[in-house]
Amino acid sequence: MFDWDDLRHFAVLADEGSLSAAARRLRVEHATVARRVAALEAAVGVKLVDRRSGRYVLTPDGDRVAEYARRIEAETLSLERMVLARRTGFPAEVSVSAPPLVATLLIAPRLARLRQSHPDLRLRLLGENRTVSLQRREADIALRLVRPSDNTLVTRKVGSIIYALYASRRYLALRRECDFEFIAFDEALDNAPQQVWLRRIAGDRPIVLRTNDLAIQRAAAEAQVGVAVLPTFVGDSGDLQRLETGQAPIVRDVWLTLHRDLRANAAVAATAAFIADCLRQENRSAERSVTDMKKRGIDWPRAGE
């Protein structure tokens, strides 16, 4: 008889197509995935994958087993959600997936309040840019910048992220606006609204650094590498100066998402309410800051001034 964990690892490999991608999703070493798949092949007595230059291609038998594995996985996860939803008390562990700097700057500093109100709750806070699968319980709650269309999910808007241009004060003091250089995301995010906005502002001026990480962008801007577009809660928290562009800012809504099977669970509901309040507090803080600046007659500094 085969081990269900072996089948689960094989199902993920079948979906991802490579050991490294499957290992990232499962949060294990790639050698563990290889070992589990080999064990499943030994248990069922047929070859499930062809190993070709680092990729795993399913055999016809592998395709059939993968279909069974996906159905079993879906039913097992549905059962897990049903059991979890019926738990009305604590202790419990709830996992939350959020963009890394949202987790670091907006959620983590406020965790003491959650601990005080729910001391038996155990939180797993995952700072990650990927879109996790809530159906597979890669997380119980996710914060996303694009509203999901999946009707198995419960989704609500909990705030907005405002993006602005930032550079170090010394960088701005030493350069004219026409000589600005820019820091951007890598090409994988070229269609993101804030990236499109940055490229439009940059025009023919060069992008001298590309990276997939906002923390790196902020650090590079502080090191006088160039001008970066950052969320205001990121740029305002460092030693940077915000620039006025003369254009409407980029605003992206933040959506709190969870599987509808879990909405009645007390621990998940309490965590979701806490996460939503973290975003609302940040939005109120940003609004107060802008209002206060306007009352004092202070505008955002113009680029090159």
pLDDT on residue 290: 52
- φ, ψ dihedrals at 21, nearest 5°: -65, -40
* Phi/psi at 255 (5° precision): -115, 125
Alpha-helical segments (H) within the chain: 4-16, 19-26, 30-44, 60-85, 100-101, 111-117, 169-174, 193-202, 214-222, 232-235, 266-295
Position 303 scores a pLDDT of: 43
Distance (Å, whole) CA 249 – CA 297: 19
Give the rounded percent of residues in the chain with a pLDDT score beyond 90: 40
- Alpha carbon 202 to chain centroid, angstroms: 26
In total, the chain counts a number of residues equal to: 305
Q: Is the pLDDT of residue 159 over 60?
A: yes
What are the residue boundaries of the structural domains of the chain, listed by start? Answer: 4-85, 89-305
| Domains 4-85 and 89-305 equal at CATH topology level | no
pLDDT of residue 111: 95
Q: Which CATH number fits domain 89-305: 3.30.450.20, 3.30.70.920, 1.10.287.110, 3.40.190.290?
A: 3.40.190.290
39, two tokens: 């064990």
pLDDT for position 61: 86
Q: Which of 89, 86, 96, 91 is nearest to 271 (CA)?
A: 96
Which of 66-80, 128-142, 169-183, 284-298: highest mean pLDDT? 169-183
Phi, psi of 297, rounded to the nearest 5 degrees: 75, 25
Buried b (16+ CB within 10 A) or exposed e, 161-181: bbbbbbbbeebbeebeeeebb
How many C-beta atoms lie closer than 10 Å to residue 234's C-beta?
Answer: 24
Please give the average per-residue pLDDT across 233-257, as a whole number.
86
Contact criterion met (CB below 8 Å) for 303 and 244:
yes
pLDDT one-digit tens code per residue, 187-205: 888 889 999 999 999 999 9
Reported as a pLDDT band with limits 50, 70 and 90, residue 21 is confident
* Calpha distance 166→244 (Å, rounded): 9
Range among 56-70, 194-208, 249-263 with highest mean pLDDT value: 194-208
Angle at 255 between CA 147 and CA 249, to 5 degrees: 85
pLDDT one-digit tens code per residue, 82-120: 666 566 555 578 999 999 999 999 999 999 999 999 988
Q: How confident is residue 41, by pLDDT bands cut at 50, 70 and 90?
A: confident
What value does the mean pLDDT of the chain take?
A: 84
CATH of domain 4-85: 1.10.10.10
- Binned at pLDDT 50, 70 and 90, residue 302 comes out as very low
Is the torsion defined by CA of 278, 237, 214, 250 positive or negative?
Answer: positive
The answer, yes or no, to whether residue 136 has pLDDT greater than 70, is yes
Provide the pLDDT for residue 304.
38
Amino acid 158: pLDDT: 92
- CA-nearest of 128, 127, 139, 126 to 84 is 139
CA angle 79, 80, 82 (to 5 degrees): 65
Alpha-carbon gap, residue 289 to 269, rounded angstroms: 31
CB-based burial label for 68 (10 Å; 0-12, 13-18, 19+)? exposed
Give residue 295's pLDDT: 55
